[in-house]
Structure 1
Amino acid sequence: MSICINEREFIDDLVWVKYSLDEFQFGLSFFLSGKVRIERHGLTDETDESVGRYYLECNCDIKETEWWKAGEKFSRIYLKIEPQEFFQSFDEEELEQIPISLRQALIGDKLQPYYHQGEITQQMWTVLSNILQCPYQGLMKRMYLESKSMELIMLHFQQFQEQDVHNHRFPARDLSDIDKIYQAKEILLGNLENPPSLIELARQVGLNDFKLKRGFRQVFGTSAFKYLHDYRLEKARQLLVLGEMKVEEVAFRVGFDSRSYFAFAFRKKFGLNPKQYFQQRQKSV
């Protein structure tokens, strides 16, 4: 684990587009001052990250667009975790106590995108203050900060469990519904060329369409087919970067029947039409 204290202030309004294809971030971010609006394409709609809030993220293969306001000081404490090393010390029974949607992010050899936002509690504020005012140096400082980091992780898990119990996200008796939401996502991403309708998708995972729509937005921050649309475009971009397929083949591979609509949607998301993007990437190789 590592702890970073970030502070930023811009003299002009800024729109910052970031690609995270070669590295990932997994950790907890606590906002101490300021505000930024961020869209994690294919994972969340635009969300405000501001003082008093925090999130747990697994940011891998996700494009981000950030909107920063001039003259606003932004500061946060970021706790970065190496997930495979951190969680390998947990036995099977202990892993069962981790929020199921987070466990989904850790299944398999490749990390899966994940995002959950919460409120900084009074206990969290106390721990964050302790980190900022750490009275030790050397080895004692490292031990102190490690203990405070573990305390923040524990408080996050505690808040997540309390939200379930108090029905803020899903009733405790319906935790299996979250598994069904993730199953629905996998079905969509496994059928890019011919995805099922919402009603058929709901039937396949054993939910009614209303619970699927509501649940998908609660878990992923967007609708099922907006998620699919953004995933298709991101997959298309990656295929164009590889340069092994023509534009028409890429469009068909990710499920666009109309080349003109594919070009329109791609240009709207990335600022260039597919052919221009392909040519630009080939020149930079």
Structure 2
Amino acid sequence: MAGQLKLNRGECQSRRFPPLAVDSQRVSVRYSVDDYVVDPAKAAGHLVGAFIPLSDRHHYRFDLQGTFGSGRHEFCGLADGFFIMFSETAYHAPQSRFISSPESLQIFIASQGDGEFVPAGGKPLSFEAPSAALVIEPADAPPSEVTFAGQARYIHMVVHRKALQALYAGGEQELPAALQTLLTGETQRMVARALPMGTATLRCVDDVHGCLLEGRRRRLWLHSKAIEIICQALEALDHSEGFQSVEVTRLTANGVMKAQRLLADNFVTPPSLEDLATEVGLSRSALCTGFRQILGQSVFDHIHDLRMQRALALLNQRGDSITQIAYAVGYNRASSFSVAVHRHFGATPSELRRRGTASAN
């Protein structure tokens, strides 16, 4: 049947979460980006927490809290039929719903948490992190079931066939066969495929969740990152076997991500490499190698970046002296702090503080 692919990596022989009742919540992904405009005044009546408009009316961040759990979501409508949403949510119990995204490519990437995707009449596809999945849905496919559970951290992208045509105009022949079939409108059955989680894909996830830009810069950056994720996913789909050499193990990826979270909370007085490795269930060498593979930097450099990010925020607040800030981010001497800041930013702490004041004015 045209457009059909087999499931391999990530395929489950049986469901791990209960099937949905027929009357369960249904979500249909719409084509027009204007369908996702949210009125902040109305949102305040439905959301517990903040609703924050970002670069424009198609780009916003919001907090949710309820009996299901709590979390933060960001949605960015890049164009008609081209959306990216990423979320960090703690679910008290598995949350499931029907989802339909006609004539589109969907990409799910989970760097934390659990869940599964169950096409109508198909085999379950695991979302147990770290994992990536690609779904190609024809126009008349029945809704699929999606479940997320645990401390979930994921990206969900939707690219309608018209948006994909715009991205690949003149180069459609470079797409995998299943997507060429989607572009011609001839896909007859849903494609659901687990993808290898290469290091480049894992870095994309980390980049998106860790982006510090705001406003139009944030939107432009997310647009470029979304295209990068598409390219990585399609390369993995087209050459899955070739990705095995750069694929990190699930154990290593989970360990590195756990270490990253621990360091985010303890970068002022970080644990030793040996203690950190023991805490996340890896050897010291596996932790160091995994950091370089997934994050592209050493554990030490990652700690340094966390300190510099916090230092910059404190310098812009102007509430503490430079010496106090040095101590607050883990330096015992203001002179060492000043040298580190100058090497990282190309300016002294005092110069950065003056720039921050000038920008605020």
For normalisation by structure 2, the TM-score amounts to 0.41
Alignment of 1:161-180 (within 5 A): 162=241, 166-170=244-248, 174-180=249-255
1:211-264 deviation line (CA, Å, top 9, x unaligned): 111111101001011111122112211221222322222222211122111101
Q: What is the DSSP-based 3-state SS (H/G/I as helix, E as strand, rest coil) of the residue aligned with 1:82?
A: strand
Q: Give the conservation status (yes or no) of the 8 Å contact 1:240–1:278.
A: yes
Alignment coverage as a number of residue pairs = 182
SS, match of residue 233 in structure 1 = helix
Whether 1:155 and 2:234 are equivalent positions in the alignment is yes
Q: Does 1:235 align with 2:276?
A: no
1:204 to 269, 279, 289: 279
Match of 1:132 in 2: 169
Matched to 1:261, the amino acid is S
Q: Distance in 1 between matches of 2:334 and 2:132?
A: 37
Aligned partners of 2:130 and 2:265: how far apart in 1?
Answer: 21
Q: Matches of 1:153 and 1:194 in 2, distance apart?
A: 36
Q: Is the 8 A contact 2:268 2:307 kept in 1?
A: no
Distance (Å, rounded) in 2 between the aligned partners of 1:284 and 1:151? 35
1:38-92 deviation digits (Å, cap 9, x = unpaired): xxxxxxxxxxxxxxxxxxxxxx9xxxxxxxxxxxxxxxxxx9742249xx95793
Q: Which residue of 1 aligns with 2:130?
A: 100
- Once residues 245 and 109 of structure 1 are traced to their aligned partners in structure 2, the CA distance between those partners, rounded to angstroms, is 36
Which of 328, 332, 340 does residue 253 from structure 1 map onto?
328
After superposition, the C-alpha distances for 1:158-193 in whole angstroms (9 at most, x for unaligned) are 3696466x34232xxx41221111111111221122
- Tell me if structure 2 keeps the 8 A contact 1:202–1:209: yes
For 1:246 and 1:175, how far apart are their aligned partners in 2? Answer: 44
Structure 1 residues 210 and 178: alpha-carbon distance in aligned structure 2, compared to 1, 3 A threshold:
same
Distance 1:111 1:268, change over 3 A: farther
Deviation at residue 151 of structure 1 after TM alignment: 8.1
1:100-145 deviations in Å (ceiling 9; x for gaps)? 1779xxx979989xxxxxxxxxxxxxx889822289xxxxxxx949
Rounded to whole Å, the distance in 2 between the matches of 1:267 and 1:130 is 41
Distance 2:184 2:324 in 1: 52
- Matching of residue 221 in structure 1 with residue 296 in structure 2: yes
Superposed CA RMSD in Å reads 4.5
Structure 2 Cα separation of the partners of residues 160 and 227 of structure 1: 31
Alignment of 1:57-72 (within 5 A): none
How far apart are 1:279 and its partner, in Å? Answer: 2.1
Determine the C-alpha separation between the residues in 2 that align with 1:146 and 1:221.
40
**CA displacement at 1:97 relative to structure 2:** 4.0
Q: Provide the secondary structure at the position in 2 that maps to 1:92.
A: strand
Give the SS at the match of 2:116. Answer: helix
Structure-2 separation of matches of 1:271 and 1:146: 53
CA contact (8 A) 2:115 2:128 kept: no
Q: Which has the larger radius of gyration?
A: 2
Equivalent AA in structure 1 for residue 85 of structure 2: P
Residue type at the aligned position of 2:281: G
Show structure 1 runs of 5+ residues with no match.
3-21, 24-59, 61-78, 113-126, 136-142
What is the CA–CA distance in structure 2 between the aligned matches of 1:266 and 1:277, rounded to whole Å? 9
TM-score by length of 1: 0.50
In structure 2, relative to structure 1, the CA distance for the partners of 1:269 and 1:253 (3 Å cut) is: same
Q: Distance in 2 between matches of 1:111 and 1:93?
A: 12
Following superposition, the deviation at residue 96 of structure 1 comes to 3.6
Superposition deviation, residue 210 in structure 1: 0.8
> What SS does structure 1 have at the residue aligned with 2:266?
coil
Give the letter aligned to residue 227 of structure 1: H
| One-letter code aligned to 2:246 | H
Cα pair 1:251 1:257 within 8 Å, conserved: yes
Q: Cα gap change, 1:168/1:109 in structure 2, threshold over 3 Å: closer, same or farther? A: closer
Query: Would the alpha carbon gap of residues 229 and 176 (structure 1) be closer, same or farther in structure 2, given more than 3 Å must change?
Result: same
Matching residue's letter, 2:261: E
Contact 1:98 1:157 (C-alpha < 8 Å) held by counterparts: no
Task: Work out the CA distance in 2 between the residues paired with 1:202 and 1:243.
Answer: 36
